[in-house]
Amino acid sequence: MPTQTLFTIVVLLLIGTSPLLRATEPHLKNIRQLTFGGDNAEAYFSPDGTRLCFQSNNKAWGLQCDQIFDMHIDSAAGNTTYRPRTVSTLEGRTTCSYFMPDGVHVLYASTHEGGRECPPEAPPRADRKYLWSVYPSYDIYVADQQGKIIKKLTDAPGYDAEATISPKGDLIVFTSDRSGDLELWTMNIDGSHQRQITNGLGYDGGAFFSPDGKRLVFRASRPKTDSAIAEYTSLLKQGLVAPTEMEIYTCNIDGSDLRQITSLGKANWAPYYHPSGKKILFSSNHRSQRGYDFQIYIMNDDGTNVEPITSESIFNAFPMFSPNGKQLVWSSNRNNNGTRDTNVFIADWVE
């Protein structure tokens, strides 16, 4: 047997036969691709772990900007022709979907009441700084599996989005600028008792509950210098944020015991608790030499022992564990044949 052939067999035995597997990603096994084209992100499990809700702008589906879909994982895996069920109205722009505790209804944010067309994206800047739009027409809704909105949960002026639900099924956390800054708020599962829980100047968002429902992990910017504060407040008045300097924070669900747990520099975001509640996954470009190279890392819940989870491609983010803790779903631009497509992937988790 030729030496090269023998070497190939040994490598395949070690890392598996899937072309998506990498020896440098030992925590990920049996990687499967679930979407094939466009930008697909923020895929989150149903309570029974069989489905994902996510947002996509796949042009092949006739989309002009992000809409919300409900995917059956087994039907989607490796199936380039599969189209999941549409949950949103196909009007306006949507973001940040999450399954309700019943596993039937889906919560998401949408601008559709502000207009049927997709709101414009932030225009390019002369300094090429990357910006996110925080559209004031975003509100949070609950829809059934046929895409019919059954309840509107927020109705305050300004941005309301980035909602997720406690594992206990009683509380929703979301981001709102109704108080003049982008802060974390909570509300009961029916939308009642909305209250602000963070107060620091800067963008607080992308929050998730700990497995026991007692704490939150989220991303935050904290401008310190006069120039940074002036830029942040000026952009916010334009409905924009520059998400290039963010760290990971935790707090109790009432906002107490606030802790900054990373000080890595650059952009650290998309955090999610490990099933043990003692570790946190997040996406970061802190080791990047060129700015845009986001990998998923895991660390202790105090920010120590940062370990890389992904290494393939230059974008990996939005990690989430399945309800039983055995699988990880995330978005990546691996295996996109040189395009800019970002797709959803799932893998068995290896401790």
- Give the tens place of pLDDT for each residue, 97-154: 999 999 999 999 999 999 999 999 888 888 888 899 999 999 999 999 999 999 999 9
The rounded distance, in Å, linking the Cα atoms of 58 and 195 is 36
**Single pTM value for the model:** 0.92
- Give the tens place of pLDDT for each residue, 65-89: 999 999 999 999 999 999 999 999 9
Residue 19 within any structural domain of the chain: no
**Total count of domains within the chain:** 1
Token reading at 27: 């925590």
pLDDT interval class at 20 (50, 70, 90): low
Residue 61 within any structural domain of the chain: yes
Q: CATH number of the domain that 309 lies in?
A: 2.120.10.30
Token reading at 5: 């052939």
β-pairing verdict for 215-220 and 204-209:
antiparallel
pLDDT at 193 exceeding the cut of 70: yes
Distances (CA, A) of 263 to 236, 267, 284: 24, 10, 11
CA angle 314, 302, 315 (to 5 degrees): 10
The rounded distance, in Å, linking the Cα atoms of 51 and 36 is 17
- Amino acid identity, position 91: E
Domain ranges, residue 270: 26-349
Q: Kindly state the average pLDDT of the residues 264-292.
A: 94
Residue 339 within any structural domain of the chain: yes
- Give the tens place of pLDDT for each residue, 167-188: 999 999 999 999 999 999 999 9
Residue 11 within any structural domain of the chain: no
β-pairing verdict for 247-252 and 259-260:
antiparallel
- Give the tens place of pLDDT for each residue, 250-264: 999 999 999 999 999
Residue 86 within any structural domain of the chain: yes
Residue 79 within any structural domain of the chain: yes
Residue 241 within any structural domain of the chain: yes
Instruction: Check: CB of residue 343 under 8 Å from CB of residue 35.
Output: yes
- Give the tens place of pLDDT for each residue, 238-250: 999 999 999 999 9
**How much is the pLDDT for 6?**
38
Token reading at 19: 């072309």
Token reading at 318: 């939005």
- Give the tens place of pLDDT for each residue, 326-348: 999 999 999 999 999 999 999 99
Residue 8 within any structural domain of the chain: no
